[in-house]
A and B are shown apart, each in its own frame.
Chain A
């Protein structure tokens, strides 16, 4: 079955520290993969996307993600976290027929 797993419900990092949010997917074909960010009470903003080509993709706000087919993973990274990055992060895969499966989300807390 198609699915997206974000193993970490929440993560706390210190400001200025590096960040990695994990995402594993289950999908038979070449996946369209996305990371979205949602600040409290707001809509989802697309951070980055992957379909083909270079497996390391750059996004907005200094985020990047690496697609690893062998591990069925699409982890999100940022070298230095800012307090404004505190938010909910959703990994997602487009499964066809207008449908996107979202992971359960990872809440990022940033401590001073």
Chain B
């Protein structure tokens, strides 16, 4: 199974709402990522979890709150978002790239299309 699943596929939320994005993988990967992708742009890294601990936060505003409850699940909690936060949010996973012999290839989910109104 080389699949990363994301729910929901689409989400429309107001600026005062609280919502969550979910991501799941069963490939035994111990690194999981959140990316934000605007139209016609490459993905931008937001957060990285390694062994369920936050390893990287790319100076993301606190209205985005990641969570990694276990090695298979990754959540992104959203609160008080702005219209400019509308984007495709991609989850990815990989083996620990620090391990010898491991190539840092990431497996991406299909994304959640978020619209903030």
Give chain A's interface residues, CB within 8 Å of chain B.
32, 34, 36, 41-46, 49, 51, 90, 94, 96-100, 102-105, 107
Please classify the interface of chain A as helix (H, G, I), strand (E, B), loop, or mixed, using the class held by over half of its residues: strand
Bound-state CA distance A46–B3 (Å) is 12
CB–CB A105/B55 < 8 A: no
Counting CB contacts under 8 A, is B104 at the interface? yes
A-B contact count (CB 8 A): 56
Contact with A along B91-106 (1 / 0, CB 8 A): 0100001000001111
CB-defined contacts of B43 to chain A, threshold 8 Å: 44, 102
CB–CB A104/B41 < 8 A: yes
Sample of 14 further A-B pairs with CB below 8 A, known A102-B42, A105-B40? A36-B108, A41-B88, A43-B90, A43-B109, A43-B110, A44-B43, A45-B108, A46-B107, A49-B105, A96-B97, A98-B31, A98-B56, A98-B97, A98-B104
CB-defined contacts of B97 to chain A, threshold 8 Å: 94, 96, 98
Counting CB contacts under 8 A, is B111 at the interface? yes
CB-defined contacts of A97 to chain B, threshold 8 Å: 56
CB-defined contacts of B113 to chain A, threshold 8 Å: 41
Which A-B residue pairs are the 8 nearest by beta carbons? A102-B42, A43-B108, A94-B104, A44-B108, A43-B110, A98-B48, A43-B111, A43-B109
User: Can you list 20 residue pairs at the A/B interface with Cβ under 8 Å?
Assistant: A32-B103, A32-B104, A34-B105, A36-B108, A41-B111, A43-B90, A43-B109, A43-B110, A43-B111, A44-B90, A46-B105, A46-B106, A49-B103, A49-B105, A97-B56, A98-B31, A98-B55, A98-B97, A100-B104, A105-B41
Please classify the interface of chain B as helix (H, G, I), strand (E, B), loop, or mixed, using the class held by over half of its residues: strand
CB-defined contacts of A44 to chain B, threshold 8 Å: 43, 90, 92, 106, 108
CB-defined contacts of B86 to chain A, threshold 8 Å: none
CB–CB B42/A90 < 8 A: yes
Bound-state CA distance A99–B107 (Å) is 14
